[in-house]
Amino acid sequence: MKTKPFLTLGDVRQIAAAAEAEALKNNWAVTIAIVDDGGHPLWLQRLDGAAPISAQIAPAKARTAAVGRRESRVYEEMINQGRTSFLSAPALEAMMEGGVPVLVEGHCVGAVGVSGVKSNEDAQIARAGIAALGA
């Protein structure tokens, strides 16, 4: 039987704190969502001033990155390059930049989704959170 790493509550708190610090450092009002490898919610944090819709978009970006095992940006790029059939892909809701998988020892253990600023800035916040794990 094989074993794989997983996110603990401590890991989730560490990711969230680092992501929040990155957002606050840049004065960005965002929502930060963290999910496990199956896209199930582990954390949702809407910073002061973040748009209410961001609380819907951030978890969707995270789920897309987790179940797809790749950044949500990849789907956006495929669609923008003409592969519009991906719009009908099941279980992929937010196919736009800002969802980043958490990879540990070659395993996807979850993902971080951020919404509220420009999509590349959302991804910057997600990556900063993940980097705090040092994985």
Tens digit of each residue's pLDDT (9 = 90 or more) over 8-18: 999 999 999 99
Q: Quick one: which of 75, 79, 115, 80 has its CA closest to 91? A: 75
- Determine the pLDDT at residue 86: 81
Pick the CATH number of 9-131 from 2.102.10.10, 3.50.50.60, 3.40.50.720, 3.30.450.150: 3.30.450.150
Q: Quick one: which of 110, 107, 106, 122 has its CA closest to 50? A: 122
- pTM summary value: 0.96
User: CA–CA separation, 21 vs 31, rounded Å?
Assistant: 13
pLDDT digits (tens, 9 = 90+) for 87-112: 888 878 899 999 999 999 999 999 99
Pure H helices in 26-133: 54-68, 72-80, 119-131
What is the mean pLDDT for each group of 10 consecutive residues in the chain (135 residues)? 94 98 98 98 98 98 96 94 88 91 96 98 98 89
Backbone angles phi, psi at 44, to 5 degrees: -145, 125
